[in-house]
Amino acid sequence: MSHFPVDVPKNKVIKTLEQLGFQLICEGNHISMIRHNPDGSNTPLTMPNHRFIKGSTLRRICTQSGISREDFLTVYNQL
């Protein structure tokens, strides 16, 4: 399994999450995103609005939003 990057640029994280089906809702002190699932439910996601996102925060975001590390890293590395 590949390791998560230590400090990830915020814009690249947002683009990766958008490729994984999330839409940007609001950007203030925190960034709010949402994914509309095929079963009609929604998956909300909130992350800090910092220039760089720490690897531990990124792992927590993926866990809470149901994204596997492999899926995230595959899309992240293609950008």
The tens digit of pLDDT for each residue in 31-69 reads: 999 999 999 999 999 999 999 999 999 999 999 999 999
CA dist 44 and 23 (Å) reads: 10
Does the structure show a pLDDT above 60 at 1?
A: no
Rounded to the nearest 5 percent, the helix, strand and coil shares of the chain are: 40, 30, 30
Average pLDDT over the chain, rounded to an integer: 92
pTM of the entire predicted model: 0.91
Q: Tell me what pLDDT residue 67 has.
A: 93
CA dist 26 and 38 (Å) reads: 23
> What domains lie within the chain, and their CATH numbers?
7-78 (3.30.920.30)
CA dist 40 and 27 (Å) reads: 24
